[in-house]
């Protein structure tokens, strides 16, 4: 099988079972991919595979979440998304994604129940933990499976506006506890909590419209990630109405992101694409278009939706013998045409063809 990456030389690979091999050792009959361009897969780095829409926030049951995971993970595969970072859910039930047949889902890392202090998020969603119990909660519950801990960094209080949920000290201790347990920390930051989150060593800033240049510089220096979720910010502004106080905050945030994205690219921040329930599962290519529209170069927007995520989590970004046979092909070079990401020609997960549009 001919592998032509967007950058670098083309090469040949075979597949045996679920694994890439040298072409001479291939036992699988492979299609002609010589006219196509290859990526290791698309990646959605802010998904919630146990949920179907924002509207279900307070009503969804564990049973519905269990039923939703196989359907939603398949939708991702069917769009060429072979890597998902699930940024948590209503309960630890979201961890069932890890148990689902690996041939029928992308590679998944996931946070369990999202963590907020009482009153610090949608009520009846995730785990409510007092700040003084956060470290204990992370050590004994949150960091034990899935690879990620998800904190809610700030949340609006009636008549007050957004309030930071945790002090810098608490955040710093929480990050240390998670890292000691081998987990990474992601934080929901829609308002002013991102500065503390960056200072505390949080691995991934989710949303983060109000990151400063200083924050971005710190994040870049330590290889931290930023998942802007622009489709979701636009979606939330639509829901609230552009003239509401929340809607005005999102508009301001979008303007700020338009300034920050080129700076982040220049500084070398790991910017990653995430959909966050704003579009149907699998449609992360939409976020790639938004990232480009809001200031990332075409190359950086395509990388944010594929190879950057692979490099960030330590999955192979360049398919090679011995690795799990995951690969997605496109008709155009994705680094020159972000549009092509929404239309993969051939998708292979663990050696099996998920979808092929080749004649």
Footprint on this chain of Zn ion (rule: CB under 5 A): 276
Between 134 and 278, name the residue whose CB sits nearer to Zn ion: 278
Q: What minimum distance in Å lies between the beta carbon of 45 and Zn ion?
A: 11
Q: What minimum distance in Å lies between the beta carbon of 53 and Zn ion?
A: 12
Q: What minimum distance in Å lies between the beta carbon of 249 and Zn ion?
A: 17
Both tokens of 351, joined, read: 């050696």
Between 44 and 326, name the residue whose CB sits nearer to Zn ion: 44
Half-sphere exposure of 101 (CA within 13 A, CB side): 7
Q: Which residue has the tokens 């200083």?
A: 214
Between 276 and 326, name the residue whose CB sits nearer to Zn ion: 276
Q: How many whole angstroms separate alpha carbon 208 and alpha carbon 229?
A: 9
The DSSP bridge partners found for residue 164 are 154
Between 152 and 347, name the residue whose CB sits nearer to Zn ion: 152
Between 59 and 322, name the residue whose CB sits nearer to Zn ion: 59
Local structure of residue 34 (DSSP, 8 states): T
Q: What minimum distance in Å lies between the beta carbon of 160 and Zn ion?
A: 23
Q: What minimum distance in Å lies between the beta carbon of 276 and Zn ion?
A: 4
Do 38 and 319 meet the contact criterion of CB atoms below 8 Å apart? yes
Q: Are strands 14-16 and 19-21 parallel, antiparallel or unpaired?
A: antiparallel
Q: What minimum distance in Å lies between the beta carbon of 35 and Zn ion?
A: 38
Do 328 and 33 meet the contact criterion of CB atoms below 8 Å apart? no
Residue nearest to Zn ion (CB): 276
Beta carbons within 8 Å of 158's beta carbon, 6+ residues apart = none
Q: How many whole angstroms separate alpha carbon 139 and alpha carbon 4?
A: 44
């Amino acid at each position: 099988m001919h592998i032509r990456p967007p950058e670098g030389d083309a090469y040949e690979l075979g597949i045996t079972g679920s694994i890439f091999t040298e072409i001479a050792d291939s036992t699988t009959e492979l299609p002609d991919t010589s006219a196509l361009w290859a990526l290791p897969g698309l990646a959605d780095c802010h998904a919630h595979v146990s949920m179907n829409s924002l509207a279900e926030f307070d009503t969804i049951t564990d049973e519905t979440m269990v039923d939703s995971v196989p359907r939603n993970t398949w939708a991702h595969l069917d769009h060429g998304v072979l890597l998902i970072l699930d940024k948590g859910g209503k309960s630890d039930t979201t961890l069932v994604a890890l148990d689902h047949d690996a041939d029928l889902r992308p590679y998944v890392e996931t946070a369990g129940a999202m963590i907020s202090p009482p009153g610090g998020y949608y009520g009846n969603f995730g785990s409510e933990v007092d700040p003084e119990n956060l470290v204990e909660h992370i050590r004994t519950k949150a960091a034990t499976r899935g690879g990620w801990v998800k904190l809610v960094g700030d949340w609006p209080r009636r008549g007050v506006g957004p309030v930071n949920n945790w002090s810098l000290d608490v955040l710093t201790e929480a990050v240390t506890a998670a890292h000691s347990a081998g987990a990474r920390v992601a934080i929901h930051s829609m308002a002013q909590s991102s500065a503390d989150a960056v200072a505390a060593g949080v691995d991934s800033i989710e949303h983060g419209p109000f990151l400063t240049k200083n924050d971005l510089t710190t994040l870049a220096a330590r290889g931290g990630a930023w998942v802007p979720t622009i489709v979701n910010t636009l979606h939330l502004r639509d829901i609230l109405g552009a003239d509401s106080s929340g809607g005005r905050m999102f508009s301001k945030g979008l303007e700020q992101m338009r300034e920050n994205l080129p700076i982040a690219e220049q500084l070398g921040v790991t910017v990653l694409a995430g959909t966050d329930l704003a579009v149907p599962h699998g449609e992360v290519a939409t976020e790639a278009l938004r990232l480009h529209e809001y200031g990332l170069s075409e190359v950086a927007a395509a990388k944010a939706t594929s190879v950057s995520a692979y490099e960030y989590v330590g999955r192979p970004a360049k398919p090679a013998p011995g690795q799990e046979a995951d690969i997605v092909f496109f008709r155009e070079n994705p680094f020159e045409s972000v549009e092509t990401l929404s239309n993969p020609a051939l998708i292979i997960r663990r050696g099996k063809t998920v979808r092929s549009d080749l004649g």
